[in-house]
A = this chain, B = another copy of it.
């Protein structure tokens, strides 16, 4: 599991579309498809229902989405933490 996979997953979940997620991420749809497949394979559960004419999160996907967002947010905050030359206030 890598942060890049989570970014892709969140984009698809928010756009409810592989193609719109690809546009947002500035990569090809095929790359999005492969990344989501790899993540689903690693987690052992499908994250999306591909039936009908739009993509929908499974229950597992919905649970994963919240955690994925939290993971990304925490990782981003690491940049700020590392830029703090003095001890951060409150630590």
Q: Which of chain A's residues 1-44 have a Cβ closer than 8 Å to chain B?
A: 1-4, 6, 43-44
A47 within 8 A of B: yes
A63 to B80, CA, bound (A): 9
Cβ of A85 to closest chain B Cβ, rounded Å: 6
**26 pairs, CB–CB < 8 Å, chain A vs chain B:** A1-B3, A1-B75, A1-B78, A1-B79, A2-B3, A3-B3, A43-B78, A43-B79, A43-B83, A44-B83, A45-B83, A45-B85, A59-B86, A59-B87, A60-B82, A60-B85, A63-B91, A64-B81, A64-B82, A67-B74, A67-B75, A70-B74, A71-B71, A71-B74, A71-B75, A71-B78
